[in-house]
Amino acid sequence: MATQMRLGFAQLRRLPLVLFVVLYSVVSGGPFLWVATMSLRTTAEIFKNPYGVPSPVHWEKFADAWTKSNYSTYFWNSATVVVVAVALVTVIGSMAAHCLARYRFRGNRFVRFLILSGLVLPPQLLILALFQILLDLDLYNTLTGLVIVYVATHIAMTVYILEGFFAQIPQDLFDAARMDGYSDFEIFWRVTMPIGAPAIFTTVTLNFIILWNEFLFAVVLLTDDAKRTLPLGIMHFTGSHQLDVGMVATGLMIAILPIILIYAFFSEAMIKGMTAGAVR
């Protein structure tokens, strides 16, 4: 009897939390579902009834979005830029984090400060200078230029996350590998990288999501329509012609797909990375 009452009370106490989770899901998932339904309906149908259920289901819109506009170009531009930038930022960032976490060298603190100060700089502040620099280097309006900017602006967060994790890997492991005859680079490659994998997945996922949606640098540093990335492409869709809401929704769904995929793929490892410290 008493336990039942207590159980009831415990559930009652959880009620606000449950309500909060439900509310949060509705607020964040609702619009997503709405766009998902719109992506399968024509603009005419949507204007008739914005909240209707797709019937008939227009799967062909996905093919249309891909073929009847520059969408595939935007998509591949984005894919190229983001994959290359994430790969570079991961390799460079993890090497830097490894060195900062492992070696006591002269100027260690200064280098760390310099890299991490990138965390506090708002992108709006950099944009003019970057514009000028890229112009001077003939990299303005090129995907290469955008990749370099993405790498530079995301090194700080990457190093910040990775260094914290790498520093927790016990020093003995590195000493053991040294005695086993491994060089510093091999130790980075065979000890730090595999053990730090959860943290690395975390940064890969975060960087991927952020860069995939990046708008500000892309809109300022790319002008050529053939070089645009997805976030620009979708905006372009809405702007110059009439507002084709249905097509925008379809475009958005295509754009979101890689993020959902990468999240599904890395999420478990990422959660491990975020709750980590569990090296021993």
Partner 1 sequence: MAVITVDKLCKRYESMTAPAVKDVDFIVADREFMVLLGPSGCGKSTVLRMIAGLEPITSGTVSIDGRVVNQVPAKARDIAMVFQSYALYPHMTVFDNLAFGLRRRDVGRTEIDRRVHAAAVKLGLAELLKRKPHALSGGQRQRVALGRAIVRDPKVFLFDEPLSNLDAALRVTTRNELIKQQHEIGTTSIYVTHDQVEAMTMGDRICIMNQGEVVQIGRPLEVYRNPTDTFVARFLGNPPMNLLKGRLDAKDGVAVAHFAGSVIVLPKRAASSLVRYVGRDVIIGIRPEDLYETAPPGGPVPIARSPARVVAVEPLGAETLLVVALDVSSDELIARIGRDTALRNGDRFDIAIDTTAIHLFDPATTKAIV
Binding site for partner 1 (CB under 8 A): 170, 172-173, 175-182, 191, 194-195, 197, 279-280
Q: How far is CA 70 from CA 103, 140, 260, in A?
A: 49, 21, 22
**57 vs 176, which CB is nearer to partner 1?**
176
- Residue 35: CB minimum distance to partner 1, A: 41
Neighbours of 161 (CB within 10 A): 20
**58 vs 178, which CB is nearer to partner 1?**
178
Determine the Cα–Cα distance for residues 168 and 277; give it in Å rounded to an integer: 6
Determine the Cα–Cα distance for residues 268 and 271; give it in Å rounded to an integer: 5
- Residue 206: CB minimum distance to partner 1, A: 22
Supply φ then ψ for residue 252, to 5 degrees.
-65, -40
- Residue 195: CB minimum distance to partner 1, A: 6
Return the structure tokens found at 268: 């478990």
**138 vs 180, which CB is nearer to partner 1?**
180
- Residue 180: CB minimum distance to partner 1, A: 4
Among positive and negative, which fits the CA dihedral 193, 199, 204, 207? Answer: negative
**198 vs 258, which CB is nearer to partner 1?**
198
